[in-house]
């Protein structure tokens, strides 16, 4: 039986950050992970460059049953703190857009920073460690694994969500939470592409690869970014963000002309006597394939603009400003960047991330019901929640 002060289950971003902080406080830390390779999810993040934080992190960019829960951790370990760590290790980075910071070279740099800091703090990695049971007897936790048993006064669950099982994601954290009687907010894939039903798929066939600058709104929350048509539905940053707020059956509204009042634009063309077909006029905004398809779907004829009745123009312009689609679903955990839901925040202290029911049991990172927007917000939550737990374990 190996004795430690702290056992961290899951050596991802949150787990490593917690290990660093606990190690700095002189705690003996064992980082257990079933994967062979440390930080697999970090490596594939941000298209291989890891969007490691956002200069504009704010609590409003996070979804949770309790929107206030994330405030404490985010204010105590901020994006500037993580940026300082990146700078301390001399890693070059840049802002891509909207405050999103990426490594210039590779996401591996972020893993290297965290591993180096863990080692300096004395935390010990135990890769390829499959956990079979976690039990609490008196003050001590006993963790049984394929590599023997471990004991500690604190267990930190940092196993992430269900997204991308092929890089090691499991629902183990939820199982532990349930075993100890903690409530789970039902998990769902998020930051995930939408899938169309067969009818819509057929109507929009051939548009895969078309990208448009839009405003996408779902359940009252809007994002101005690109959408990207795929073979099965819709992706691109605006669609991924909207998926955070989407539930089955909800419509998604797309403003296809975010900078233009469509009706004024088309009426001014008509007033000048334009005899062009609308699909050709729309080339001002859209690629040919989309303009043609949209007009084929929503105009009864190819009548020149000057002869097109105002009623039809009104209805087309409404569609351009509020094109409403109801996706059949999302692509799912195989592609989703995050898992929404997780361990209920009511069960945890926002100051320490410790369970209110089971002393010494902590949950950090994506396994908790705190989910951020696309753009570096999820890593910042992993760093911040890991950092705060590291101060108390």
Ligand X SMILES: Cc1cc2nc3c(=O)[nH]c(=O)nc-3n(C[C@H](O)[C@H](O)[C@H](O)COP(=O)(O)OP(=O)(O)OC[C@H]3O[C@@H](n4cnc5c(N)ncnc54)[C@H](O)[C@@H]3O)c2cc1C
Provide the minimum distance between the beta carbon of 261 and ligand X in the complex, in angstroms, as a whole number: 35
79 binds ligand X (CB under 6 A): no
Rule CB under 6 A: choose which of 7, 8, 11, 74 binds ligand X: 11
Distance of alpha carbon 393 from alpha carbon 383, whole angstroms? 15
340 binds ligand X (CB under 6 A): no
Nearer to ligand X among residue 13 and residue 187 (C-beta): 13
Nearer to ligand X among residue 163 and residue 235 (C-beta): 163
236 binds ligand X (CB under 6 A): no
Distance of alpha carbon 393 from alpha carbon 374, whole angstroms? 30
Nearer to ligand X among residue 225 and residue 337 (C-beta): 337
Would you state the torsion angle of the CA atoms of residues 113, 42, 158, 350, taken in this order, to the nearest 10 degrees?
Answer: 80
| Of residues 349-368, those binding ligand X (CB under 6 A) | 365-366
Candidates 65-73, 156-164, 234-242, 351-359; binding stretch for ligand X (CB under 6 A): 156-164
User: Cβ distance 279 to 291 under 8 Å?
Assistant: yes
331 binds ligand X (CB under 6 A): no
Q: Is 327 exposed, middle or buried (0-12, 13-18, 19+ CB in 10 A)?
A: buried
8 binds ligand X (CB under 6 A): no
Return the ∠ at Cα 180 (arms to 244 and 127), rounded to 5°.
75
Rule CB under 6 A: choose which of 23, 46, 187, 236 binds ligand X: 46
Rule CB under 6 A: choose which of 8, 18, 30, 50 binds ligand X: 50
Candidates 160-168, 192-200, 259-267, 314-322; binding stretch for ligand X (CB under 6 A): 160-168
Provide the minimum distance between the beta carbon of 84 and ligand X in the complex, in angstroms, as a whole number: 18
Nearer to ligand X among residue 32 and residue 295 (C-beta): 32
Rule CB under 6 A: choose which of 4, 6, 7, 10 binds ligand X: 10
Provide the minimum distance between the beta carbon of 127 and ligand X in the complex, in angstroms, as a whole number: 9
377-390 and 79-88 are packed helices; what angle lies between their axes, rounded to 10 degrees?
90
- How many amino acids of this chain bind ligand X (CB under 6 A)? 36
Candidates 66-74, 133-141, 237-245, 377-385; binding stretch for ligand X (CB under 6 A): 377-385
Distance of alpha carbon 365 from alpha carbon 86, whole angstroms? 19
196 binds ligand X (CB under 6 A): no
**Footprint on this chain of ligand X (rule: CB under 6 A):** 9-15, 32-35, 41, 44-46, 50-51, 131, 158-160, 163-164, 168-170, 172, 337-338, 365-366, 376-379, 382
């Amino acid at each position: 039986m190996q004795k430690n002060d702290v056992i961290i289950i899951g050596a991802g971003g949150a787990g490593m950050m917690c290990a660093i902080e606990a190690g700095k406080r002189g705690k003996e830390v064992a980082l257990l992970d079933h994967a062979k390779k440390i930080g697999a999810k970090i490596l594939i993040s941000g298209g291989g460059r890891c969007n490691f934080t956002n200069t504009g992190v704010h609590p409003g960019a996070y979804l949770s049953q309790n929107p206030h829960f994330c405030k404490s951790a985010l204010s105590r370990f901020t994006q500037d703190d993580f940026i300082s760590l990146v700078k301390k290790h001399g890693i070059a980075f840049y802002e891509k857009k909207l405050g999103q910071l990426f490594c210039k070279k590779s996401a591996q740099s972020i893993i290297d920073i965290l591993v180096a800091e863990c080692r300096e703090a004395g935390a010990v990695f135990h890769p390829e460690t499959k956990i079979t049971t976690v039990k609490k007897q008196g003050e001590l936790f006993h963790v049984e694994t394929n590599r023997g048993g471990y004991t500690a006064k604190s267990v930190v669950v940092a196993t992430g969500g269900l997204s991308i099982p092929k890089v090691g994601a499991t629902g183990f954290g939820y199982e532990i939470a349930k075993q100890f009687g903690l409530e789970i907010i039902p998990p769902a894939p998020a930051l995930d592409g939408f899938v169309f039903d067969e009818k819509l798929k057929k109507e929009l066939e051939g548009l895969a690869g078309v990208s448009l600058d839009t405003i996408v709104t779902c359940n009252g929350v809007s994002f101005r970014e690109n959408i990207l048509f795929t073979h099965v539905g819709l992706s691109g940053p605006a669609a991924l963000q909207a998926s955070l707020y989407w539930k089955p059956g909800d419509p998604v509204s797309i403003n296809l002309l975010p900078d233009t009042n469509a009706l004024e634009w088309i009426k001014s063309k008509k007033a000048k006597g334009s005899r062009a077909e609308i699909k050709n006029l729309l080339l001002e905004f859209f690629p040919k394939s989309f303009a043609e398809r949209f007009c084929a779907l929503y105009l009864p004829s190819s009548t020149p603009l000057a002869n097109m009745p105002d009623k039809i123009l009104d209805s087309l312009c409404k569609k351009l400003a509020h094109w409403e689609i109801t996706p059949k679903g999302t692509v799912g955990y195989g592609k989703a960047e995050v898992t929404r839901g997780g361990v209920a925040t009511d069960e945890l202290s926002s100051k320490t991330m410790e369970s209110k029911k089971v002393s010494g049991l902590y949950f950090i990172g994506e396994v908790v019901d705190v989910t951020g927007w696309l753009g570096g917000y999820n890593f910042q939550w992993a760093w911040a929640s890991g950092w705060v737990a590291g101060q108390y374990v």
